[in-house]
Copies of this chain bind each other. A is one copy, B any other.
Amino acid sequence: MSEQQKILIIGGVAAGPKAAARARRRNPQAEITILERGGLTSYAGCGMPFFISGMIHDYKELYLTSYGVARDANYFGREKGVKLYTRTEATAIDRQNKVVKAKNLETGEEMEFPYDKLVLATGASPFVPPIEGVDLKGVHLLNHPDDSLKIRELVDTGNIEQAVVIGAGLIGMEGADALFNKMVEVTIVEMQDQVLPNMLDADMAQRLQRHMYDEGVDLFLGDKVLRIEGDEEGNVKGVVTEKNGFVECQLVIMASGVRPNVQLAADAGLEIGEARAIAVNEYMQTSDPDIYACGDCVENVHLISGKKVYTPMATYANRQGRVVGDNVTGGESTFKGVLGTGVAEVFEMNVGRTGLGEQQAKNLGYNVITAVSSGLDRTHYHARHGLVQFKIIADADSKRILGAQGIGKGDVVKRIDVVATAITFGATLEDLSNLDLGYAPPFSSPIDPVAHAVNVVRNKVDGLAETIKSQQLLEKLEDGEDLLLLDVRTAEQFAPKHFKDDRIMQVALGDLREKLEEIPRDKEIVTICPMGIRAYEAVRTLRGAGFENVKLLEGGLNMWPFDLEIKKK
C-alpha cells in the first residue's frame, strides 16, 4: 500500500470520525480527510435527551471529549492529524476517476477530493410526517444537537406546560421522559398500539405502559396526528389526533423514525440492499471494493435470522467505523452482524431487548416457546434491590435461545447483555441457566433472574409448569368463564390489593395441603402471587394432589398490567 494514500470520509458524526481515527493510528502517513455537511462533528447524539432534562448542564458537553476538548477541525487536525471540512456537502461520487465532488454550504464553492479509499458515513435523516403545521414555531425534531438546544431554550422559558411527542420509539420516549423530568405534561401519540414497537413485545410494552399511566403520562396508542394547529403568531397551540381530537400543547417533538441517507451512494450506482440502506459485506465494503460504508446509512445482517435489517444504532456506527478504519489501511476486520440489542432508561424504568421478539420468531417459522418471570435484581435484603421482569423467547425444538426482553426498576441491562452474549454463541436454555455469573448480595441472587426466567421456560417445556399470560387471563375473565383465581398469599398480604372478582379465593400456600378439600376439582384454576414463585409451588402441590387443570399467572401479579376489577363483557 502506498504510504501517501488518500482516505476520504463522507460524514463526521460517529462512524466517520471513528474510521478516521482508527485509520490514522494504523497508518501515520495516509492523507485522511473528513467532509461533514453540518457544522458540528463527532457529537453525542444520544446525549440530547439528557441535555433537555438538564442532567447535562452545558451544550458544549455534547461535543467535548471526556477530557474536555471540543471535537472540531482544530482537534482533528492537531490530535488526530485528520483534515476536517465542515459545512461541506459531498454532491457526487465519480467512481471512474475516484473523485468526490463537494460544495461548501457557506460560500457555495465547489471542490473536488480525490480518493484511494472512500468511506460513506452519511448517516440517516429524520422522517418528517406529511402533516399540516410541521413548520409552526414550537415544532421540533430531535435529531441534531441544535434541535435539543432549541427545545431546552423553549422549556427553560417556563412557558411550556404541555407537550406532544409524535412517535413512541426510542427517541420519542427518551424525549418525552426528558420533558416529563422538566415537569412538562406529556402526551405521546403512536400509530402502533404499543410503545417501543421495534423493541418490546406487546406484553412487555403493556407493563411499561401501565407504569407510564400510573406516573401520569398520556399515551395515545393506535392513534395518529392529523394536523398541528397554531395561533395567529405561528406558535403551535395543539395537535389534532384521529381518535382523541384536539390536545393543547406549546411544544411538539416529531420522532417518527429515521431513514438512511443513501442518495449519494445510489446516484453513484452503488448497491442499495433489501432493507433500503447501503448494502455492504462483512468487511463493510459496498458493491465498489474501494468504497466502504458504515453507520446509520448501511443495512446489517441479523445474526439469528440471517435477514437484512436496518438498525441505526450508535454502537454499530462506532464498531463499524473501527472495522472500516482497519480495512482501508490494509486490515481484514469484519463486522458479522447484529442482534438488535437495545436498552433505555425511560420514566425511571430500565428496558431492554436482544435477539428476536416473539412475533418475529413466529414469523420466521420457529416453534416458539416463551416465559415471563418476575424477580428481584439482587437479594431482597439489600437496600438497592429492584424488581425486574424478563421474557425469554426460545425455540422449543432446538432449545436455542432466540431473544430476551426485560423491564424493571432493577438492573435489566446486565442481563440483556448476558443473553446477547450467550445467543451470539447459539446458547441453549440449559447453557443459559448454567452460566457461572457473579453473585454477591449487592449484585444478584444466587440464582440470577435470567437463569430463573430460563428455568421457567424449561419447566414449561418439561410440563412441570403450565402458565397463563395476563392477556389470556383477562380475556377469559371478561368472557365470564367459570374459573377459580387461587391467590396463595397470606390473608394479610392478600387484603390490601387483589382481584376484585367473585371468582377469587385466598388460600395461603402454607395452608394449601390441608385445605385441598375446599378447592373445587371441576374448575380451571389459576394460581396467583406477586412473583409467580408461590403460585408455581401451588401448581405443583395441586397437580400432585390430582388436580388436572391448574395454571399459574405467568410473571405473577407484577406482570398484570390491567385493572384488578374485571368488567365482564
Please tell me which stretch of A200-208, A246-254, A267-275, A539-547 contacts chain B, meaning at least 4 of its Cβ atoms lie within 8 angstroms of it.
A539-547
User: In the assembled complex, which residues on chain B have CB atoms less than 8 Å from the CB atom of A319?
Assistant: 433-434, 446-447, 451
Q: In the complex, what residues of B have CB within 8 A of residue A426's CB? A: 425
Which residue from chain B places its CB closest to the CB of A451 in the assembled complex?
Answer: B319
Copies of the polypeptide in the assembly: 2
**Chain B residue contacts of A464, Cβ below 8 A:** 25-26
Q: What does the 1/0 interface line of A406-427 toward B look like (CB < 8 Å)?
A: 0000010110111011101111
- A448-462: which residues lie under 8 A (CB-CB) from chain B? 451, 455
Minimal beta-carbon separation of A336 from chain B (angstroms): 6
* CB-based contact B379/A44 at 8 Å: yes
Complex alpha-carbon distance, A382 and B340, angstroms? 23
Task: Please state if A44 and B315 are interface contacts (CB–CB under 8 Å).
Answer: no
Checking B380, B433, B514 against A66 with a beta-carbon cut-off of 8 angstroms, the contacting residue is B380
Q: Is A435 an interface residue (CB 8 A)?
A: yes
Q: Distance (Å) between the CB of A329 and the closest chain B CB?
A: 11
Contact A381 B421 (CB under 8 A): no
Instruction: Judge whether B511 and A381 touch: CB under 8 Å.
Output: no
Which of B24, B443, B493 meets A67, CB within 8 Å? B493
- On whether A437 and B379 interact (CB within 8 A), knowing A25-B464, A424-B431, the answer reads no
A161-181 with Cβ < 8 A to chain B: none
Q: Which of A380, A417, A438 has the most CB of B within 10 A?
A: A438
Instruction: Flag if B79 contacts A540 (CB, 8 Å).
Output: no
Choose one: B313, B314, B421; the contact of A421 (CB below 8 Å): B421
Q: Which of A302-357 contact B (CB under 8 A)?
A: 303, 313-315, 317-319, 322, 334-336, 338-345, 352, 354
Contact: A537 with B343, CB < 8 Å?
A: no
Residues in B neighbouring A510, C-beta threshold 8 A: 69, 74-75, 78-79
Q: Are A438 and B417 in contact (CB under 8 A)?
A: yes
Give Cα A335 to B352, complex, Å. Answer: 29
| Residue in A25, A343, A433 with the greatest tally of chain B CB atoms within 10 Å | A25
Task: Give complex CA distance A55, B378 in Å.
Answer: 14
Alpha-carbon distance A145/B239, docked complex (angstroms): 62
Docked complex: A250-294 residues within 8 A CB-CB of B: none
Closest to A69 in B: B510
| Residues of B contacting A211 in the complex (Cβ-Cβ under 8 angstroms) | none
Q: Which of A461-476 contact B (CB under 8 A)?
A: 464
B446 touches A317 (CB 8 A): yes
Known: A313-B439, A315-B446. A541 touches B81 (CB 8 A): yes
- For window 31-57 of chain A, which residues contact chain B by CB distance below 8 Å? 44, 46-47, 50, 55-56
A440 within 8 A of B: yes
A424 to B514: give the CA distance in the assembly, Å: 46
Taken together as a complex, chains A and B put the C-alpha atoms of A413 and B418 apart, in Å, by: 11
> Given the known A-B contacts A50-B381, A79-B509, A441-B47, are A436 and B420 also in contact in the complex, defined by CB atoms under 8 Å?
yes
CB-contact partner of A336 in B342, B434, B537, under 8 A? B434
A24-B540, A26-B464, A335-B434 known; A440-B379 Cβ under 8 A: no
What residues make up the interface of A, taking CB atoms closer than 8 Å to B? 14, 24-26, 28-29, 44, 46-47, 50, 55-56, 61-62, 66-67, 69, 74-75, 78-81, 303, 313-315, 317-319, 322, 334-336, 338-345, 352, 354, 376, 379-383, 411, 413-414, 416-418, 420-422, 424-427, 431, 433-444, 446-447, 451, 455, 464, 489, 493, 509-511, 513-514, 529-531, 534, 536-537, 540-541, 543-545
> Can you name 17 A-B pairs with beta carbons within 8 Å?
A14-B446, A44-B379, A44-B441, A67-B530, A78-B511, A81-B513, A81-B541, A303-B436, A315-B446, A319-B447, A341-B438, A341-B439, A342-B440, A417-B418, A417-B438, A421-B435, A425-B425
The 8 A-B pairs at the shortest CB distance, nearest first, are namely A28-B544, A343-B438, A425-B425, A78-B510, A315-B439, A318-B446, A414-B414, A66-B380
